[in-house]
């Protein structure tokens, strides 16, 4: 990689993490800024002279055979601009999630219900976005379908990216939707954790929730926490505090539209 060709750059800050994206083409600037805004809600673009902890190198080529590097390593090769821009957005967002200042990022869907957060920790292809969307359709406030963002007081902050839903085109390709398109609203303020819900989709599965103790709830949050290996001393107390006063349940589930009202009913009948 000839770094001398990468004469243009964009510097962005999110949750205290500063990233620079260098590119070889002025044609890439606007698309890169657009994708960073999409993948990092509320991000701030900085002066290009600002020092950055994380550097990305985006090779924009006329034949659409683009390349993406971080720290001289190839992290993505795609056949067209759109796919590689998505890879860039994901790579920068992961860096922010891992190195965020004063925050712990957990892979999870999150909604707010009566002033408390329902966290659905899970990785991709577990159905968390689908269930998050269905709860939003039924009146829950949308916080995120990607990350639960916890501060030092274990309160959950909004990470209001577009909802990325499978099953609209096919079972694998994601389609982005605004919360308003679902008839819902987004949460605006930090709220305490009220429930940790461990669930994943299984066709034909019966909803049979088992109560978990606070330690089990904390362990599930731990298993899905992004910065846990890098800074466990910071993350562990926050995860423990998040789970200690929250309800926690585990169950496989069937279709989200069938389970969402059961979850809401369970919350209404509990001391939530």
Q: What is the pLDDT of residue 117?
A: 96
Mean pLDDT of 35-58: 94
Q: Which helix (H) or strand (E) holds 156?
A: strand 155-157
Residues 215 and 200 in one domain: yes
Residues 95 and 108 in one domain: no
Q: What is the pLDDT of residue 153?
A: 98
Mean per-residue pLDDT over the chain, rounded: 92
* Domain termination site, one of 83, 99, 115: 99
Mean pLDDT of 28-54: 94
Residues 133 and 265 in one domain: yes
Residues 53 and 116 in one domain: no
Q: What is the pLDDT of residue 81?
A: 87
Residues 153 and 216 in one domain: yes
Mean pLDDT of 218-239: 95
Tell me the pLDDT band of 3, cut-offs 50, 70 and 90. Answer: confident
**Taking Cα atoms as reference points, which of 41, 205, 220, 191 lies closest to residue 120?**
220
* Domain termination site, one of 61, 79, 99: 99
* Domain termination site, one of 44, 64, 99: 99
Q: Which helix (H) or strand (E) holds 143?
A: strand 141-144
Which phi and psi (to 5°) does residue 153 adopt? -95, 10
Beta bridge partners of 108: 121
Q: What is the pLDDT of residue 108?
A: 98
DSSP 3-state assignment of 93? helix
More confident residue, 120 or 71: 120
pTM higher than 0.85, yes or no? yes
Beta bridge partners of 106: 148, 225
Q: Which domain holds residue 48?
A: 3-99
Q: What is the pLDDT of residue 45?
A: 97
Residues 27 and 152 in one domain: no
Query: Looking at the predicted structure, is the pLDDT value of residue 101 above 90?
Result: yes
CB 55 within 8 A of CB 71: yes
Residues 124 and 91 in one domain: no
- Residue 112: which CATH number? 3.90.228.20
CB 239 within 8 A of CB 218: yes
Residues 66 and 83 in one domain: yes
Our count of domains for the chain comes to 2
Q: What is the pLDDT of residue 175?
A: 81
Least confident among 97-111, 165-179, 240-254: 165-179
In this predicted model, what pLDDT tens digit does every residue of 49-70 receive, in sequence order?
888 989 999 999 877 678 999 9
Residues 93 and 133 in one domain: no
Long-range contacts of 173-181 (CB under 8 A, 24+ apart): 176/38, 177/133, 179/136, 179/142
Tell me the pLDDT band of 11, cut-offs 50, 70 and 90. Answer: very high
Q: Is 126 exposed, middle or buried (0-12, 13-18, 19+ CB in 10 A)?
A: middle
């Amino acid at each position: 990689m000839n770094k001398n060709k990468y004469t243009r750059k964009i510097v962005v800050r999110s949750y205290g993490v500063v990233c620079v994206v260098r590119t070889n083409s002025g044609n890439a600037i606007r698309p890169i800024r657009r994708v960073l805004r999409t993948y990092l809600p509320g991000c701030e673009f900085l002066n290009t002279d600002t020092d950055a902890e994380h550097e990305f190198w985006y090779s924009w080529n006329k034949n659409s055979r683009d390349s993406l590097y971080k720290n001289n390593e190839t992290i993505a090769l795609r056949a067209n601009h759109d796919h590689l821009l998505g890879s860039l957005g994901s790579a920068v967002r992961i860096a922010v999630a891992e190195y965020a200042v004063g925050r712990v990022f957990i892979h999870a869907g999150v909604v707010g219900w009566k002033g408390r957060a329902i966290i659905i920790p899970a990785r991709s292809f577990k159905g968390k976005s689908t269930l998050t969307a269905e709860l939003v359709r039924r009146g829950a406030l949308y916080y995120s379908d990607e990350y639960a963002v916890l501060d030092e007081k274990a309160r959950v902050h909004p990470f209001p990216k577009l909802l990325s839903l499978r099953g609209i085109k096919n079972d694998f390709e994601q389609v982005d939707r605004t919360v308003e398109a679902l008839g819902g609203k987004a949460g605006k303020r930090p709220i305490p954790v009220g429930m940790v819900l461990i669930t994943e989709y299984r066709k034909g599965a019966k909803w049979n929730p088992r109560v978990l103790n606070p330690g089990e709830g904390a362990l599930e949050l731990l298993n899905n926490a992004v910065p846990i290996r890098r800074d466990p001393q910071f993350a562990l107390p926050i995860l423990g505090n998040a789970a200690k006063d929250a309800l926690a349940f585990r169950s496989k589930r069937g279709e989200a539209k069938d389970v969402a009202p059961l979850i809401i009913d369970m919350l209404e009948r509990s001391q939530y």
